[in-house]
A and B are shown apart, each in its own frame.
Chain A
Amino acid sequence: MRLRPASVRVRLTLWYTLILAAIVLALFAAVYLVVKASLVRQLDRQVESEFQAVAQGLGEEPDELAEIQTEMSSRLIQVRRGEEVLLQTPGFKSSGLGPQASDGAPAWRTLRTPAGDWFRLRSGPAGRGLELMVAAPEGPVRRALRTLLLILLLALPAGLVLASVGGSIMAGRLLRPVALMAAQAEKISAESLSARLPIEDARDEFGRMAGVINGMLSRLEGSFEQLRRFTADASHELRTPLTAIQSVGEVALREDLDAVAYRDRIGSMLEEVGRLSRLIDNLLTLTRADAGAAALTSQEIDAAGLAARAVEDLRALAEEKRQDLTLVSQGPALVRADEATLTLALVNLLDNAIKYTPAGGAITVAVSARAGAILVEVKDNGPGLAPDQAARVFDRFYRVDPSRSAQAGAGLGLSIAKWAAEANGGRIELESREGCGSTFRLVLPGVSS
């Protein structure tokens, strides 16, 4: 694996060529063997038919010997009786085979002369005690086979070179989308997250991969945008009290005031400091939440009891607005949670409901159990939220009505409530219709008793 080439294209081409080489080698070997077998069989048939013809002649006519000597002089024929050689055609003599012994039984042999020529020999009885031997040179067959082998061996590397070039071109074409994607991806940075990878064919593997990466880019772009907005909003929110402190201080310094007026100015500055400090506390809470660094102590607590306490804590606010605040609960509802953060979630939800429900409205906090979960519903009959508002209401610094910013706080309450719910293994669901009020439902995993 250490020699693995870095490029997929090279790897593909190598594999491709290797497999092709194996297939072609096997094919060539098969062709060679089949051709060889067929040529040898053809030679054998030729020798056999000659043998049969001569043997028949010898068996029927005694003068045949002389006839063979003259008429078949170029053929390789030898006739013997016992040890005595009766006939050897001139061809046989010149072939360099020399007198060949035979034991009288029909036999096939392949012989090599001292000069290096190959011959195929057929020997056997030919009647009347004669022993016949017919031979044929294997030379032409061997030469043909050698030529074939040469052609095959020359064709193999040439074919492989062609195949690898073709394979490489094909792999390159197939992998082109990847190269394009890589080039495009290289250009994408935090500043240009809106760019997307090119998709040539959405149905193939590369198209699907590009689609997946594009989806990831969309999510990244979303969170970058969120971060950018958060930073912009945070600095705006931090700047507002800072500006107030600065201008109040600067103006007070230029005026000639009495002690009471100076105290008032300082008090006004301290009010802004308080706002700043509160905002930083909230931001810190959220930042810790993002970092997962909030220290939570999980213990069994009664959500109904906590809800009752939050209701009692905030009842005074509802009373100021002549709102009807009711708590509905059926006994203890045990959850495993961190008391402080759970209280934070409840108080923020309730604070939000009181803030945005008009004077004289009604708010109900209902604690119930459903399918192993504990639900704490904060329901109001206020103005409700449009779908696009409902979708953003948990976003940091989001305010439904930006003009109310002064009394409505920084718009972090619901983000904090959402985090606090999630930190305790729960979630907040929102049901809201414009004009029909909103229900924020805190869903917490219950403790089975």
Chain B
Amino acid sequence: MKILVIEDEKKVAQALKKGLEAEHCQVELALTGEEGFFRLCSGSFDLVILDLMLPGRDGTEILRTLRRTDKATPVLILTARDALEDKIIGLDLGADDYLVKPFAFPELTARIRAVLRRGKGDQGTKLSAADLEMDVAKRMVARARQAIVLTAREFELLEYLLRNGGHVVTRDMLAKDVWKETLRATPLDNVIDVHIGRLRRKVDDPFPVKLIHTVRGVGFILSETAP
């Protein structure tokens, strides 16, 4: 997969490149708006990660020009501007997603997966990891063929972890996507930790292989092997 990163902050750009390459993507960097625009015109990409405040040519301008000719290439805006109006402007101009800095890398990759998945329809109602199975439609969870009873919140949490199976999810992502909190200042970290603990007790404790792991300082991951 080919990704163009238009980002003027060198350290961030390099980190993005390395991180995305570790996820088996091909990454091209553009450090100015002009360069980004030039690369956009001369090549084709599966995804564009776009900063808004750029030297030379503003991110919104690049997006506007791009959308005139190309409606298909997904664009993910990555910016320090966190005002609601900026978000609305960006999405109205045709961006597919909007992520505010500072961002957690797992969240970025999750958003990229979501953007690329979009339009492909079928999200699947049956999810699984190792011997854990979930039927989203029937709201049933089982591990090693033993049914597990979960509360609604625990079910949503496990579903989210399963859908991001093998990838780290952060507390911010959980607060936003599972608890539906829009403001970062809402204190939910402790609540999330408690729910993860409960989920573990039901899903992992009775079984020898643990599936839910904590990635210190980042978040949680559902995978057969410890990270």
Contacts and interface: CB of A to CB of B under 8 A. Distances in A.
A313 B190 CA distance: 11
Nearest to B226: A260
Interface string A330-348: 0000000000110110011
A73 to B, nearest CB: 118
Nearest to A355: B190
B194 A316 contact: yes
Interface residues of B, number: 26
A284 B195 CA distance: 28
B216 interface: yes
B183 A316 contact: no
Interface string A315-337: 01101100000000000000000
Interface residues of A, number: 35
Given A295-B84, A317-B194, A266 B187 contact: no
A271 B183 contact: no
Please provide the 5 A-B residue pairs with the shortest distance between their CB atoms, ordered closest to farther: A270-B217, A267-B216, A267-B217, A271-B217, A316-B194
Nearest to A345: B186
Interface stretch (A36-44, A173-181, A273-281): A273-281
A274 B188 CA distance: 13
Contacts of A320: 194
Contacts of A272: 217
B89 interface: no
A277 B83 CA distance: 17
B219 to A, nearest CB: 9
Contact of A316 (B83, B84, B198, B216): B198
Given A317-B190, A348-B187, 4 more contacts: A284-B82, A347-B186, A347-B187, A351-B190
A274 B216 CA distance: 11
Interface of B: 82-85, 102, 153, 171, 179, 181-191, 194-195, 198, 215-218
Contact of B191 (A281, A313, A341, A416): A313
A281 B195 contact: no
A351 B198 CA distance: 19
A285 B185 contact: yes
A277 B198 CA distance: 27
Contacts of B216: 263-264, 267-268, 270-271
Given A273-B217, A295-B85, A313-B179, A344 B194 contact: no
B191 A316 contact: yes
A269 interface: yes
Majority SS of interface residues in chain A? Answer: helix
A69 interface: no
A347 B216 CA distance: 26
Nearest to B102: A277
Contacts of B190: 317, 351
A282 interface: yes
Interface string A419-438: 00000000000000000000
12 contacts: A268-B216, A273-B217, A281-B184, A282-B185, A284-B82, A313-B188, A316-B153, A343-B186, A344-B183, A351-B190, A409-B187, A416-B185
Given A267-B215, A316-B194, A316-B198, A344 B83 contact: no
Interface in A229-273: 263-264, 266-273
> Which of B84, B85, B182, B185 has the largest number of chain A CB atoms within 10 A?
B185
Contacts of A269: 217
A413 B217 contact: no
A266 B195 CA distance: 25
Contacts of B187: 347-348, 351, 409, 413
A437 B9 CA distance: 51
A167 to B, nearest CB: 62
B195 A270 contact: no
Contact of B217 (A268, A284, A409): A268
B184 A317 contact: no
B85 to A, nearest CB: 7
Contacts of B217: 266-274
A406 to B, nearest CB: 13
Contacts of A266: 217
B194 A267 contact: no
Contacts of A278: 184, 189
A152 interface: no
Contacts of B171: 274
A267 B168 CA distance: 13
B188 A270 contact: no
B191 A344 contact: no
A259 to B, nearest CB: 12
A314 interface: yes
A262 to B, nearest CB: 12
B182 A340 contact: yes
Given A344-B186, A347-B188, A351-B187, A270 B218 contact: yes
Q: Could you say which of B187, B188, B190 has the most chain A C-beta atoms within 10 Å of its C-beta? A: B187
A282 B183 CA distance: 10
B143 to A, nearest CB: 22
Contacts of A274: 171, 217
A171 B16 CA distance: 76
A281 B102 CA distance: 10
A285 B84 contact: no
A252 B125 CA distance: 45
Contacts of A319: 194
Nearest to A320: B194
Nearest to A296: B84
Nearest to A280: B102
